[in-house]
């Protein structure tokens, strides 16, 4: 019950008018940068660091937490409306969300994303409040071999899930894996596939790939068909909110997404992407309307959105209790702590209890604010789709270019963006799914480094992949995911 | 330009020039890394103190990330003769120039000053059987495959493990160094008992060392550090002295008086109370050195780095 008393004291800190104002500024800023592709919460907090040096630490962290949660909320908006993910964690949301929007159900998609984010964020924060130290202890024990197995699971389920055929999905995945190989090899420090260009030594920023394949590719594709297709005017659903049926189909995915997202956030190198991929596959398997997937199934928005917000809460567990950043934003938050001469870790809860609990309390408040901010705005955002397409896509192109340029202030990145835009157009034209490529770019390097780290630990002995029960269990699941559908198919055809 | 604006500009020029000569100095500081990292934090700390103390105004910070800072270095090289431009850099850049075979190296730019640094520590989990650096070295000699975790290949952490191996008599080519992309992951690997030992700047492990979850076996400082209860590597018989230092350089081709102005500005920064306070809150060790001393240091450091990287097999 100690946590309850501490939390109440935290609310006392967070509920002062000044801190409420900072929280509001934070969530508003966060939502905005979440909406803009390329500019994420990590960059925003980093740029605000020197400005906030004179604020009291509690206020600064309340604002940063607002930006962090707000970015997770806002990332889904452009995914759903424009098929342009603002953040890597909302790539999956674009799949079903954008299809829903095209069927005129944008407001419902935005609503299930917002409510799902709220539910997941709140449950995640409750877990953070009461179980943080225990979870953190377990999370660091997960060996690299198990993390590698988890990514294999994501690869296998994903390439089978997307696209008109598994082969096309695999080709797209391998294209992404190849792009992910570019840059300095972490283990040996040697350059790979950099064509002698120093700009490529750090690899290709995945944001550039995401925006190129999604936003620019989509724009080119729409432009190429503008005169061919009779412009399908999107009718907005008169009823902006979710129907009773939507609620019935959303609440379970919200909870399952939360259950997937939170632990992944807490694991070092877990991140927000894998749980969104897994949640999507899971919902597709469990849905009573599997035929709707790929055409705008609400479960495919509800689950992944909950997963990405729950992971945001999960990330704070190792950050606060161990001083262990598990995502880009967390790394910047760590720098923010250090700016104030604070060192997150086991002693932070003792030495700076008011700061920690004020921050945790502000997460509850921030979640409520975000819901209040986003739900009424859903129908307003949805009206974006009524903008005539030439203007709308011109706007997307401008925002994408600005977003990519802001990453490194480099013209080279813009050339890459154009190249990936053309590739994205080609993939759409010849019916290759884009998402597996993105997943390859994001997870490929992680998979490689976990694989090689595992082998370094065992001094080159591959037996390490069958020594941990957790790894074995996940690898067997991978095998089942590969074999079972094929067996079922064979049986069905024999019977038929 | 009409007469009115010309007059305004002139009066503005006069009024800023009037109070003190030093205030004429306006500077741009390049952080050759993304916002949030060590070079970025150093650049922004310089910006704050210089502006508050009136050493230079305005001071603008901009980021040119990529390739261990060598992309920024190339850009600095191209700004020949610009006496109002500085770049933050450090030991990591000295290493990256070698491993990336960068076309521009530090002999082509103008050294200004070394500012701060951080010493490295070697830690083991609290449950580890190794109580001293000697224990670890003995076990390492018996089993070269002992895994050491640290930052990216060729970085300061990797160099330290290489120097330790040499001092302990272990073959540097056979050592098993497990690089992680961020300091956080190194910490996780050590806490999770997944490696024998971990290496990082003291700050990254400080909280865990104080909480008793990690045992610090040695610090790479030449002498014991105030407030850091870790024995030096030297005091345990391993002759290793390595600081992850950060400094400031300027473009090539600037005049002698331009260089003197910049060195004087850094000297003033270092002497200010605001800078001392910054060092204290950030936990940065003061390693100040400017002028010709820093010129020599930079040359020696480039030679030493090349040697270590050769030993660990990253540079031919």
H or E stretch covering B116: strand B110-117
Who among B44, B61, B191 is closest to A140 (CB)?
A: B191
The pLDDT value given to residue A56: 86
Q: At what angle do helices A244-266 and A299-322 cross, to 10 degrees?
A: 30
Under DSSP, the state recorded for A272 is T
Rounded to the nearest angstrom, the gap between the alpha carbon of residue A61 and the centroid of all alpha carbons in its chain is 22
> Distance between CA atoms of A253 and A451, rounded to whole angstroms?
31
The pLDDT value given to residue A38: 63
Token digits for A115? 């409510």
Token digits for A322? 């161990």
The radius of gyration of chain A's CA atoms, rounded to the nearest angstrom, is 22
Q: Indicate whether B8 pLDDT > 60.
A: no
DSSP-assigned beta bridge partners for residue B246: B90, B116
> Distance between CA atoms of A425 and A420, rounded to whole angstroms?
8
Q: Which among A285, A264, A269, A263 has a CA at the least distance from the CA of A480?
A: A285
> Distance between CA atoms of B285 and B279, rounded to whole angstroms?
7
ipTM of this model?
0.71
Token digits for A196? 């002698």
Q: Percentage of chain B with pLDDT > 90?
A: 37
Token digits for A195? 């064509």
Considering only residues 154 to 193 of chain B, which have any Cβ-Cβ distance to chain A shorter than 8 Å? 154, 176, 178-182, 184-185, 187-188, 191-193
Token digits for B301? 């450091």
Q: Indicate whether B124 pLDDT > 60.
A: yes
CB A112, CB A126: distance < 8 Å: no
Size of interface A-B (CB pairs under 8 A): 147
Position with higher pLDDT, B135 vs B104: B135
CB A281, CB A256: distance < 8 Å: no
- Do A408 and B152 lie within an 8 Å CB cutoff? no
> Distance between CA atoms of A439 and A338, rounded to whole angstroms?
33
> Distance between CA atoms of A213 and A65, rounded to whole angstroms?
30
**Burial annotation B214-240 (CB, 10 A radius, 16+ → b, else e):** bbbbbbbbeeeeeebebbbbbebebeb
Return the SS3 of B232. strand
The region that residue A263 occupies, defined by phi over 0 for left and psi between -120 and 50 for alpha, beta otherwise, is: alpha
Q: Indicate whether B161 pLDDT > 80.
A: yes
**CA-based end-to-end distance of chain A:** 61
**Residue bearing tokens 């089978």:** A160
Who among A202, A346, A459 is closest to B207 (CB)?
A: A346
Q: Give the total residue count for chain B.
A: 316
- Fold equal for B19-117+245-311 and B120-236: yes
Q: Indicate whether B184 pLDDT > 90.
A: no
Least CA distance to A43: which residue of chain B? B35
Rounded to the nearest angstrom, the gap between the alpha carbon of residue A228 and the centroid of all alpha carbons in its chain is 35
Alpha carbon of A109: minimum distance to chain B alpha carbons (Å): 34
Considering only residues 107 to 146 of chain B, which have any Cβ-Cβ distance to chain A shorter than 8 Å? 145
Least CA distance to B206: which residue of chain A? A343
Q: At what angle do helices A353-382 and A2-14 cross, to 10 degrees?
A: 60
Q: Indicate whether B139 pLDDT > 90.
A: yes
H or E stretch covering A102: helix A91-102
B120-236: CATH topology is D-Maltodextrin-Binding Protein; domain 2 (3.40.190)
> Distance between CA atoms of B225 and B216, rounded to whole angstroms?
14
Position with higher pLDDT, B231 vs B153: B231
Return the SS3 of A169. helix
The pLDDT value given to residue B3: 46
What's the number of domains chain A is made of?
1
Q: Which among B89, B52, B43, B88 has a CA at the least distance from the CA of B272?
A: B52
> Distance between CA atoms of A127 and A139, rounded to whole angstroms?
14
Rounded to the nearest angstrom, the gap between the alpha carbon of residue A482 and the centroid of all alpha carbons in its chain is 25
Considering only residues 216 to 275 of chain B, which have any Cβ-Cβ distance to chain A shorter than 8 Å? none
Which residues does B58 contact at the CB level (< 8 Å), separation at least 6? B26, B27, B51
Banded pLDDT at B147 (limits 50, 70, 90): very high
Least CA distance to B65: which residue of chain A? A408
Who among B40, B178, B188 is closest to A268 (CB)?
A: B188
CB B279, CB B116: distance < 8 Å: yes
Domain spans of chain B, in order of start = 19-117+245-311, 120-236
The pLDDT value given to residue B22: 47
The correct CATH number of B19-117+245-311 out of 3.40.47.10, 3.30.930.10, 3.40.640.10, 3.40.190.150 is 3.40.190.150
B203 touching A (Cβ < 8 Å): yes
Token digits for A10? 């935290």
Rounded to the nearest angstrom, the gap between the alpha carbon of residue A280 and the centroid of all alpha carbons in its chain is 12
Token digits for B258? 């331009």
Q: Which among A226, A385, A187, A306 has a CA at the least distance from the CA of B99?
A: A187
CB A454, CB A145: distance < 8 Å: yes
CB B85, CB B27: distance < 8 Å: yes
The pLDDT value given to residue A1: 60
pLDDT tens track, chain A, 496 positions = 677 888 888 888 888 998 999 999 999 888 888 777 666 777 778 777 767 777 888 888 889 888 888 888 887 888 888 887 767 778 888 888 888 888 888 888 888 998 999 999 999 999 988 887 777 777 777 888 888 888 888 787 776 666 567 788 888 889 999 999 998 887 777 788 988 888 888 888 877 888 888 888 888 988 888 776 655 556 665 555 678 888 889 999 999 999 999 988 887 766 778 888 889 888 888 888 888 888 888 999 999 999 988 988 888 888 888 777 777 778 778 878 877 777 777 777 777 888 888 888 988 998 999 888 888 877 777 777 777 878 878 888 888 888 788 777 788 999 999 999 999 999 989 988 888 888 888 888 888 888 988 888 888 888 889 888 889 998 998 888 777 777 777 777 776 5
DSSP codes, B172-205? TTT-EEEE-SSHHHHHHHHHTT-SSEEEEEHHHH
> Distance between CA atoms of A303 and A296, rounded to whole angstroms?
13
């Amino acid at each position: 019950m100690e946590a309850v008393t501490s939390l109440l004291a935290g609310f006392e800190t967070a509920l002062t008018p000044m801190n409420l104002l900072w929280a509001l500024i934070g969530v508003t800023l966060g939502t905005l940068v979440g909406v803009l592709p390329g500019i994420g919460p990590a960059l925003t907090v980093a740029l605000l660091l020197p400005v906030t040096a004179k604020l009291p630490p509690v206020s600064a962290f309340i604002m940063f937490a607002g930006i962090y949660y707000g970015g997770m909320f806002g990332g889904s908006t452009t995914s759903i409306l424009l098929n342009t993910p603002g953040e890597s964690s909302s790539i999956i949301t674009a799949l079903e969300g954008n299809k829903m929007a095209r069927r005129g159900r944008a407001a419902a998609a935005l609503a299930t994303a917002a409510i799902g984010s709220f539910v997941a964020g709140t449950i995640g924060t409750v877990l953070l409040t009461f179980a943080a130290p225990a979870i953190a202890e377990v999370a660091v024990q997960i060996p690299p071999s198990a993390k590698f197995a988890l990514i294999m699971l994501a690869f296998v389920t994903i390439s089978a899930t997307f696209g008109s055929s598994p082969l096309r999905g695999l080709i797209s995945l391998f294209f992404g894996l190849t792009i992910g190989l570019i840059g300095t090899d972490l283990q040996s420090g040697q350059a790979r596939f950099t064509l002698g260009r120093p700009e490529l030594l750090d690899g290709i920023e995945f944001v550039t790939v995401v925006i190129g394949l999604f936003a620019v590719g989509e724009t080119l594709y729409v432009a190429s068909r503008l005169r061919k297709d009779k412009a399908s005017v999107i009718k907005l659903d008169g009823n902006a909110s979710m129907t009773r049926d939507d609620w019935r189909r959303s609440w379970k995915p919200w909870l399952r997404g939360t259950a997937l997202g939170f632990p992944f956030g807490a694991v070092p190198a877990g991140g927000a992407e894998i749980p969104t991929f897994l949640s999507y596959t899971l919902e597709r398997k469990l849905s009573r309307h599997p035929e709707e997937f790929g055409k705008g199934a609400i479960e495919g928005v509800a689950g992944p959105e909950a997963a990405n917000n729950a992971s945001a809460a999960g990330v704070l567990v190792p950050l606060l209790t161990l001083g262990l950043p598990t995502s880009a934003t967390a790394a910047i938050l760590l720098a923010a702590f250090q700016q104030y001469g604070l060192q997150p870790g086991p002693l932070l809860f003792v030495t700076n209890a008011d700061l920690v609990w004020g921050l945790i309390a502000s997460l509850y408040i921030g979640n409520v604010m975000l819901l209040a901010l986003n739900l009424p705005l859903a129908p307003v955002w949805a009206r974006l789709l009524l903008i005539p397409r030439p203007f709308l896509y011109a706007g997307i192109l401008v925002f994408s270019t600005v977003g990519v340029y802001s990453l490194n202030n480099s013209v080279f990145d813009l050339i890459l963006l154009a190249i990936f835009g053309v590739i994205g157009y080609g993939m759409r034209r010849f019916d290759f799914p884009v998402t597996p490529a993105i997943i390859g770019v994001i997870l490929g390097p992680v998979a490689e480094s976990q694989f090689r780290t595992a082998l370094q630990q065992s001094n080159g002995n591959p037996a390490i992949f069958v020594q941990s029960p957790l790894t074995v269990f996940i690898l067997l699941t991978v095998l089942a995911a590969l074999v079972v559908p094929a067996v079922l198919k064979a049986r069905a055809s024999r019977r038929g | 330009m009409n007469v009115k604006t010309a007059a305004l500009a002139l009066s503005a020029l006069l009024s800023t020039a009037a109070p003190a000569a030093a205030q004429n100095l306006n500077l741009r500081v390049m952080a050759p890394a993304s916002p949030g990292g060590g070079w970025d934090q150093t650049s922004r700390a310089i910006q704050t103190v210089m502006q508050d103390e009136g050493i230079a105004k305005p001071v603008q910070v901009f980021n040119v990330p990529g390739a261990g800072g060598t992309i920024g270095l190339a850009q600095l090289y191209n700004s020949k003769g610009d006496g109002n431009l500085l770049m933050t850099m450090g030991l990591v850049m000295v290493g990256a120039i070698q491993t990336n075979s960068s076309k521009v190296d530090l002999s082509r730019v103008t050294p200004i000053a070394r500012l701060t640094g951080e010493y490295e520590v070697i830690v083991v989990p609290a449950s580890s059987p190794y109580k001293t650096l000697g224990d670890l070295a003995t076990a390492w000699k018996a089993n070269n495959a002992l895994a050491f975790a640290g930052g990216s290949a060729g970085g300061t952490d990797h160099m330290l493990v290489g120097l330790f191996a040499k001092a302990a008599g272990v073959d540097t080519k056979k050592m098993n160094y497990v690089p992680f992309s961020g300091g956080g992951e190194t910490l996780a690997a050590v806490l999770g008992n997944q490696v024998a030992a971990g290496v990082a700047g003291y700050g990254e492990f400080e909280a865990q060392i104080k909480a008793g979850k990690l045992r610090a076996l040695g610090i790479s400082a030449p002498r014991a550090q105030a407030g850091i209860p870790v024995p030096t590597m030297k005091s345990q018989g391993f002759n290793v002295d390595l600081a992850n230092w950060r400094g400031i350089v300027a473009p090539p081709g600037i005049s002698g008086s331009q260089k003197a102005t910049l060195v004087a500005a850094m000297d003033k920064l270092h002497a200010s109370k605001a800078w001392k306070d910054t060092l204290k809150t950030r936990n940065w060790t003061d390693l100040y050195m400017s002028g010709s001393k820093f010129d020599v240091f930079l040359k020696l450091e480039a030679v030493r780095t090349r040697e270590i990287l050769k030993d660990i097999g990253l540079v031919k």
